[in-house]
Amino acid sequence: MNAEQIIKRPLLTEKSYAGIASKVYTFEVAKNANKIEIAKAVEQLFGVEVEKVNTVNVKGHKKVQNTKAGRTEGRTSDYKKAIVTLKESSKTIAFFDSLS
């Protein structure tokens, strides 16, 4: 699996914005990727040095929609989230610099 398949997209939430100043970034990653693969993918894609990676499997949320035809229930997809901390000596990720 290559780096583009491991790192799917950045997750931009209030909590993730707070971590940008201290070089902590949050990404949605492939479900079968481990911490070592995630660290190597971030280093390769962004040219930074990773100190540590924390991962969380996020369960999808239940959604209900009432329509004329009746009530439909479903779920959003499950996904895996990686919280990546960079080394102090590392440069920041340019994509996130414009957000803070």
Q: What percent of the chain has pLDDT over 90?
A: 87
Q: Domain range for residue 73? A: 3-87
Q: Report the CATH number that the domain containing residue 12 is assigned in CATH.
A: 3.30.70.330
Which stretches does DSSP call E strand in the chain?
A: 7-10, 24-29, 50-58, 62-67, 70-75, 79-86
Q: Please state the domain count of the chain.
A: 1
Q: Is the pLDDT of residue 11 over 80?
A: yes
Contact by Cβ (8 Å): 64, 72: yes
Question: Does residue 33 belong to any structural domain of this protein?
Answer: yes
Question: Does residue 100 belong to any structural domain of this protein?
Answer: no
- What distance in Å separates the CA atoms of residue 100 and residue 83, rounded to the nearest whole number? 17
Q: Is the pLDDT of residue 74 over 70?
A: yes
The pTM (predicted TM-score) of the whole model is 0.87
Question: Does residue 28 belong to any structural domain of this protein?
Answer: yes
Question: Tens digits of per-residue pLDDT, 21-64?
Answer: 999 999 999 999 999 999 999 999 999 999 999 999 999 999 99
Tokens 């492939």, residue located: 30
pLDDT of 100 reads: 60
Question: Does residue 67 belong to any structural domain of this protein?
Answer: yes
